[in-house]
Chains A and B, each alone.
Chain A
Amino acid sequence: MQLYLPIAEVSVNAFVLLGLGGLVGFLSGLFGVGGGFLITPLLMLIGVPSGVAVATGANQVVASSISGVLAQFKRRAVDMKMGTVLTIGGLVGSTVGGYVFDLMGKLGQTDLFVQLSYVLFLGLVGGMMLTESIRSLRRVGAPKVRRGTVHAIVHELPFKVKFRASGLYISIIPPLVAGFFVGFLSAIMGVGGGFIMVPLMIYILGMPTKVVVGTSLFQITFVTAYTTLVHAVTHHTVDMMLALLLILGGVIGAQIGTKVGIRLKAEQLRILLSLLVLAVAVKIGFDLVLTPSELYSVTTLGVGR
């Protein structure tokens, strides 16, 4: 069944979109990630213009993270205060990211910029997760969370604030910077940024694991909602029809993914996720290095694009 998307102005198969949403939803349910890092490149692959893919990807992440954050609220696993500080940083970061994105567009380097960010950050996080989980698989018993030496520096900074739910008394600067950084990436990569935020919370901020997922989802919901609005107002690139189909496929996929995820061990899941993240990084990396079949590209400067 072909469906004409009103904003993307392309006709795509509705079942392909449902399937795409379902696949990404399945993976996000399985691994507990938003899946933005998969949906944006996949949408571009099926012919959705990159601007629409980034903006609509953000809208889809809102849907997938809102149900997650509500579930975490019920389990009291959200540090509201920390989440708010991270969100403030995130909103500023997203605004700056959007500005840099436009600047790169004017220079004609959007694709390069987005691709390099994907290779760099997915490669870095995927590699770190893989080595970490292999190490913890080898270790007998429950894996312990290592807190790096950076954690000590965090304690030296001024403007200390109490974060009761996290049991922390730290400076407000590191969470603001972490939020800014993730918000920045969210705007240029069309992702929620959970894959960066979670390690930052554990290793840099030293937050206890029980509030990490809920708090990161809290921040992601607000930052991606803001990103969606910014794209809708300044670029008119949010395609509601596209988002609706992705979300419908996504919620069904996520439910199945969650069921399957329960049956797998946490270490196995982390290895699988790190391999998936690395695979995306390697694929995009190859695209940068291999000789493209078409050296030329066309960017329309028409209305609304």
Chain B
Amino acid sequence: MRWLLLLLALALPLRAEEIVSGVSTSDVSIDTSFNGTAILIYGAAMREAPPPDWPLLQVIVTVEGPATPLVIRKKERVAGIWLNRGAVQIASAPSFYAVATTGELGDILSPKEDAKHHVSIPSTIEAIAGAEDEEAYVQALQRIREGTGQYRLAQNAVLLLRQSLFRTDITLPANLIEGDYRVRIFLTRGGEVVDMQENVIDVRKAGIERWLYNLAMEQPLAYGLLSLIMAMVAGWGASELFRRFRW
């Protein structure tokens, strides 16, 4: 199927160097047994004329989850106790962000292009200016989220064949937030972006997860009452059951 798409794309008229790509899935449903999923991103660089010999073609793939505002706090010791003192507001940071490349990100993407396209992990984090050691806070956010697998930089994880065909696997973790996940593919030469393409993966809760979540958000009172009834029935029912069996 995907090769068919590629062939179709081959037949179309193209620009100097253009991406033709596909994502193995366009929908991810989070059901009760959801434990993360791997997505395959593949494609090819299409060209009319033979490619230049140098600089070599490089590929960068990013997957980005819904962004939220957040606060980063720093603990300091006050009278022997560690408590939050400093704080930096972040206007927007992705809840999930994975970058896969064919080489060292710093070598294949110039700082100017990074600032323009927000590709590297720090460039996706948008701080509200003001704090003095803001950079340390942003680094801490990156460190913490790399630790939990929410942020990932996988250099050399994109396989590039004959300077044209490419593919990479990106694993979405189990603790996924629902929303639109943006997939971007960049072709670069000598640090400059040659072409860029965007796809969207729709991550949604499904089944009972969907139902409970919607109820909790849209009918919170009914949801709260249902939780109480569930607790009462389970608590009373179980003790009654045990009593009957004279355990």
Instruction: List A residues at the B interface (Cβ < 8 Å).
Output: 1-4, 6-7, 9-11, 47, 59-60, 62-67, 70-71, 108-109, 111-112, 225, 228-229, 231-234, 236, 238, 240-241, 243-244, 247-248, 251-252, 254-255, 259, 288-292, 294-304
Evaluate contact between A2 and B231: CB separation under 8 angstroms: no
Stretch of B11-19, B31-39, B41-49 that contacts chain A: B31-39
Residues on the B chain within 8 Å of A7, using CB: 212-213, 216
Evaluate contact between A301 and B71: CB separation under 8 angstroms: yes
Evaluate contact between B82 and A291: CB separation under 8 angstroms: yes
Evaluate contact between A236 and B216: CB separation under 8 angstroms: yes
Evaluate contact between B82 and A288: CB separation under 8 angstroms: yes
Number of A-B contacts (CB under 8 A): 190
Whole-angstrom distance between the Cβ of A214 and the nearest chain B Cβ? 15
Evaluate contact between A298 and B70: CB separation under 8 angstroms: yes
Evaluate contact between B71 and A2: CB separation under 8 angstroms: no
Whole-angstrom distance between the Cβ of B112 and the nearest chain A Cβ? 29
How far apart sit A108 and B86, CA to CA, in the bound complex (Å)?
Answer: 10
> Which residue in chain A gives the minimum CB-CB distance to B213?
A6
- Cβ-neighbour of A294 out of B30, B36, B144, B225 (below 8 A): B144
Whole-angstrom distance between the Cβ of B219 and the nearest chain A Cβ? 10
Evaluate contact between B32 and A295: CB separation under 8 angstroms: no
- Cβ-neighbour of A70 out of B73, B75, B87, B239 (below 8 A): B239
With A240-B227, A297-B75 in contact, do A109 and B83 touch (Cβ < 8 Å)? yes
B228 within 8 A of A: yes
Residues on the A chain within 8 Å of B231, using CB: 59-60, 62-63, 66, 228, 243, 247
Evaluate contact between A71 and B140: CB separation under 8 angstroms: no
Most chain B CB within 10 A, of A1, A231, A236, is at A236
A-contact 0/1 string along B76-102, CB 8 Å cutoff: 110011111001000000010000000
Residues on the A chain within 8 Å of B36, using CB: 11
Interchain residue pairs with CB less than 8 A apart (6): A229-B224, A232-B221, A247-B230, A248-B234, A296-B144, A298-B73
How far apart sit A243 and B216, CA to CA, in the bound complex (Å)?
Answer: 14
Instruction: List B residues at the A interface (Cβ < 8 Å).
Output: 30-36, 68-77, 80-84, 87, 95, 137, 140-141, 143-145, 174-177, 205, 208-210, 212-213, 216-217, 220-221, 223-228, 230-232, 234-236, 238-239, 242, 247
Evaluate contact between B33 and A4: CB separation under 8 angstroms: yes
Known pairs A255-B242, A298-B70. 5 more at Cβ < 8 A?
A: A6-B210, A62-B231, A247-B235, A295-B75, A302-B177
Whole-angstrom distance between the Cβ of B28 and the nearest chain A Cβ? 12
Whole-angstrom distance between the Cβ of A304 and the nearest chain B Cβ? 6
Residues on the B chain within 8 Å of A64, using CB: 235
Instruction: In the A-B complex, list the 9 residue pairs whose CB atoms are closest, starting with the nearest.
Output: A232-B224, A11-B174, A63-B235, A296-B140, A251-B238, A302-B68, A67-B239, A63-B231, A2-B35
Most chain A CB within 10 A, of B177, B242, B247, is at B242
How far apart sit A169 and B8, CA to CA, in the bound complex (Å)?
Answer: 90
- Cβ-neighbour of A297 out of B35, B72, B226 (below 8 A): B72
With A241-B212, A255-B242, A296-B140 in contact, do A289 and B235 touch (Cβ < 8 Å)? no
Residues on the B chain within 8 Å of A241, using CB: 32, 208-209, 212
Evaluate contact between B224 and A289: CB separation under 8 angstroms: no
- Cβ-neighbour of A225 out of B35, B82, B177, B228 (below 8 A): B228
Whole-angstrom distance between the Cβ of A187 and the nearest chain B Cβ? 15
Residues on the A chain within 8 Å of B247, using CB: 255, 259
Evaluate contact between A70 and B221: CB separation under 8 angstroms: no
How far apart sit A66 and B34, CA to CA, in the bound complex (Å)?
Answer: 33
How far apart sit A215 and B174, CA to CA, in the bound complex (Å)?
Answer: 43
How far apart sit A298 and B88, CA to CA, in the bound complex (Å)?
Answer: 10
Evaluate contact between A67 and B177: CB separation under 8 angstroms: no
Whole-angstrom distance between the Cβ of A263 and the nearest chain B Cβ? 15
Evaluate contact between B74 and A296: CB separation under 8 angstroms: yes
Evaluate contact between B177 and A9: CB separation under 8 angstroms: yes
Evaluate contact between B226 and A240: CB separation under 8 angstroms: yes
- Cβ-neighbour of A228 out of B33, B216, B227 (below 8 A): B227
Whole-angstrom distance between the Cβ of A253 and the nearest chain B Cβ? 11
